[in-house]
Each structure stands twice: as structure tokens, then as C-alpha cells.
Amino acid sequence: MIKKILKKIINSFGYNINKYNKEIQNVNFDELLKEKIKKNPVIFDVGANQGQSIEKYKKIFSNPVIHSFEPIKREFDIMHSKFGNTENIHLNNFALGDKEEYRILNVAAKSSNSSFIKIKSGTKWLEHRSKDKRVEQEKYSESQEVNIKTLDNYFKDKNVQEIDLLKIDTQGYEDKVLIGCQETLKKNKIKAIIVEIMFDNVYEKYFSFSDIEKYINPNDFRMVGIDLINNNLFSGLVFFADVYYFNKKTYNL
């Protein structure tokens, strides 16, 4: 009787009550990777910074083979000091992109914000960063010429057989990385992709899903999850997501 009265009151406000399905749970993406990807995976870590992803994947998987790519020399040196002598960890001091070339990288004070794309002036994010004494370095940091290779060429040169997980976090250069691995994608040699998509206007370039998916979906991939940082453009300073794509043939999707 009490339940019916409560339900009537709640319904009067335009809401409804449904029984909770215990089988439906929030997704823990680390557990998802551990469950779906084989135990000793080959991982390409594009945008490795100081090796944070190496630490993460070594915790998730028992014996991963990780190829990491970091173009900033000082960050690469830190990563190398941690993992340079670790078995099955391959460290590369260059970037991946759509063609073999040298380009100017804008190196930010917070190195994880470094990008081939310039930071946009006059944004809320930059205003917020002005409270940090190093904000001018964030906006007008040093420029560094870095070597860029393609994933397709690296894949062939290193005689890699397949990639179980490709993680791309390159601050606005994700599409170029994907263009540079189209041959590998078309041969069905990549099983899962995590790509950061930046929706905010922190940089002079930002993405929509279609900007990324036009390089992924034609190669039999399907989006399986979104790990959001902030959930809309208006209630926060940064709006981006790590988006998970799995190969439909590999995972019967």
C-alpha cells in the first residue's frame, strides 16, 4: 500500500519507478580490457608521455608486449629510466602520424598538453590555467622539431604480427595517427582501439565522433564504450573522452 502511494506521488512529478536490474552494472574499463583482450597482448601506446600507460597496462595484463611512442626527449628519458631495461617494453623517441616527416611540436609546461596543434587563446581553460604561475609557458612554450613515422611502416619494419590494443592520446593529432595505419587496419591486424577525442576548444582544432570514425568504422570497428572527462561542454573546463572501439569480427559484435 505504501509503495503504491509513493509511486503515485512520484508519478505526479513526471517520474517513474522501475525495478533495478542487478545484471546492469557500471563499466570498469580496466576490467573490460582484462576480460576481452588476450592475456599477453601486443599494445601500441601512442603518446606515452612518461610511461603512465605502461604502468597501467602492466597492472591489467600479466605479460604485455608494449611499443610506446613519445617524441619529447625529456619525457622519453624519464620513461626510459623507468622501463628501458624492462623485458617486452619497446620505447621509441618519435611520434606517429600520417607520413614520414619532421614537424614542430608545441611543448607545453605540462608536457601531457603538448601538441602539434596550437593552444587556443582566450579560452576558459587558459584563464583557469592563469592561476598557475607557469601558464605563460603553457601558452608560449618551447617548440621542438620531432621525427614522425607511420604506424604502417613501423608495423612492417618491426615484423609485428598483430596489435591487440592501439591506444592513441596525441592532443589533436589522433586522426593523423589513424591515417598512418590504414593498411594495418584494412588487413585486420588491429583488434581494439582506445582514442582520445577532444570536444573542447582548448586547442585550435577539436573533433567530432565522425572525424575519427571515418577512419575506423569502415575497417569493421564498432564503438563499445565512452569514458568521459566531464559530461558536457558547459559545466567544466575540459570536455573530452576516451572512446573504445573493438573489431566486430574479432569480438563477434
Positive or negative torsion for Cα 167, 29, 242, 108: negative
On whether residue 53 sits in a domain, the answer given is no
pLDDT at position 20: 39
* Residue 213 within any structural domain of the chain: yes
Domain-embedded: residue 208:
yes
Query: What confidence score (pLDDT) does residue 153 get?
Result: 98
Residue 99 in domain: yes
Number of domains in the chain: 1
Q: What is the mean pLDDT of residues 222-238?
A: 83
Q: Give the domain extent around 172.
A: 94-251
Task: Determine, yes or no, domain membership for 57.
Answer: no
pLDDT at 207: 83
Q: Categorize the per-residue pLDDT at 19 as very low, low, confident or very high, splitting at 50, 70 and 90.
A: low
How confident is the model over 63-91, as a mean pLDDT? Answer: 95
Higher pLDDT, 142 or 78: 78
pLDDT at 144: 85
Helix ranges (H only) for the chain are 2-12, 29-36, 52-60, 73-83, 124-129, 135-139, 151-157, 174-179, 182-186, 209-216, 248-251
pLDDT of residue 133: 46
pLDDT tens per residue across span 87-128:
999 999 999 999 999 998 888 777 777 776 777 666 666 666
Give which of 171, 212, 172 is closest to 193, Cα–Cα: 212
- Whether residue 163 lies inside any domain: the answer is yes
- Tell me the pLDDT band of 39, cut-offs 50, 70 and 90: confident
Angstrom distance (rounded) from CA 50 to CA 60? 18
Band (pLDDT 50/70/90 cuts) for residue 22 is very low
> In this predicted structure, what is the pLDDT of residue 17?
53
Confidence of residue 21 (pLDDT cuts 50, 70, 90): very low
Average confidence score pLDDT of the chain: 84
Answer yes or no: is 123 within a domain: yes
Q: Tell me whether residue 107 is in a domain.
A: yes
pLDDT on residue 24? 45
> Which whole number is the average pLDDT over 52-75?
95
One-letter amino acid of 54: I
